[in-house]
Structure 1
Amino acid sequence: MSTAEPGAEPGDDQVRMTAWVRGTVQGVGFRWFTRASALSIGGLTGFALNLGDGRVQVVAEGSRGNCEALLGWLRTGDTPGNVTGVTEIWDEPRGGYEGFLIR
């Protein structure tokens, strides 16, 4: 189901992207830089969270294009630490976030 406004550009559908980032991504400022990147891209809400297994979970809601931009940044290698892999899933937005938080 498309949630884009009539006349919106392709890729502007509102989505929820959940990514799990593997590697040396805890204790290196990764969540802070992820939040800064999300705020720089703009139009995203969600959070970055350290998981008990050493991964960071990133949840972002906004336009598909903006979520893809954040996902691209996560995969660039221009992040703190050392990212060895990123797995993501796409879904319908759930809402309920105010801004982009570090949890």
Structure 2
Amino acid sequence: MERERCRTLLDERVPGSVEQAVKDADTFFGVELPALAAWRFDADDADDAAAIRQPVLSVLGSDTQPLWVEVAAFLRSTVPDIEECVIDGVGHLLPIERSRPVAEAPARFLARHPITA
């Protein structure tokens, strides 16, 4: 999604979010991003992924960037009980671009896989 379209969509649907993101940039780049970079779940962790016994839902936009497509492929290849749902016409901002189908995907998943004690 090009920058201007993204900005317009955010301003329309989540007013003030871009300004808040700028205010929070120090936290994002100083705390959150380094923590994310330190977290590992990759080919070396395939045994850990294969040990997951609960059903897993992977939600992806049809216009998703290659990095997230690669993550989804990794999950498909390693997690034994995974379901993938692709939401048409959206990318990284999928819950903002098409909130209804994004909300319906986990609702259907949880109806098929109710949480038990």
When the two structures are superposed, what TM-score results if normalisation uses the length of structure 1? Answer: 0.28
**Greater helix share, 1 or 2?**
2
Return the index of the structure with the highest Cα Rg.
2
**Greater strand share, 1 or 2?**
1
